[in-house]
Structure 1
Amino acid sequence: MNSWILAVQITIAVTLVLLSVLVVVWGRNYRRVRSRQTLGMLVFAGILLVENGFALYVYSLDPVLSVWFGEQVPNEPWLAMSLFHVLEALAVGFLTYVTLE
């Protein structure tokens, strides 16, 4: 197995946890405030949650794509994909920090 795929899977799992926290917090806030901005943040987090869940499925559970990503994708594309996932995790982490502060 490519070592990049494990790093990406861990990064996606962390992002999923952070996005779940944001969905809970923003969902509670929306029920209380009924603000369009809060609804927008809730929808944003929900869409990112679905996207990251699908990415984790593709990288680890899909019988065809997980094998292809794990064995046939060279390191250079994995480096680029890993960078995108790490940047996304950092952004969501900062957003979670600011939201919980």
Structure 2
Amino acid sequence: MTVWLEVALAAAGVNVLLLLALGSVWLRGYRQHGAKHTLGLLVFAGFLLVENLLWLYFYLLHPAFIEWFEATTTEVQVGMTMLCGLELVALLFLVRITWR
């Protein structure tokens, strides 16, 4: 397993944890207030959670994807990893705002 695959896997795993935490806060808020904005955030978290679970499947369990990832160029590996990394930064920002 390449370093970039491991970093992408770690970022996707942290993203899942952050989305579960954010989703629980937003679900509580929606149950209490019923605000459409909170429902929108909850749906947003749900879609991102599915996306990151799919990434985890590909990074861990899909042999053809892992083989392709390891055989491709470093630029492509870095680019794929940056997608999960940038999402991690955005989610950290949302966590900070949500828990303040």
TM range (shorter): over 0.9
Q: Which runs of 5+ in 2 are unaligned?
A: none
Trace 1:67-82 onto structure 2 (pairs within 5 A). 67-69=67-69, 71-82=70-81
Deviation, structure 1 residue 80: 1.1
Q: Could you tell me which residue of structure 2 aligns to residue 87 of structure 1?
A: 86
* Structure-2 residue corresponding to 1:49: 49
Question: Which sections of structure 1, spanning at least 5 residues, go unmatched?
Answer: none
Q: CA deviation at 1:66?
A: 2.4
What pairs with 1:1-101 in structure 2 (closer than 5 Å)?
1-69=1-69, 71-101=70-100
Identity percentage of aligned residues: 40
The one-letter amino acid paired with 1:62 is H
Structure 1 distance, partners of 2:52, 2:28, is 22
| Deviation string, structure 1 residues 35-62 (Cα, Å, up to 9, x no partner) | 1100000000110000011011111112
Aligned residues: 100
> What CA RMSD, in Å, does the superposition of the two structures yield over aligned residues?
1.0
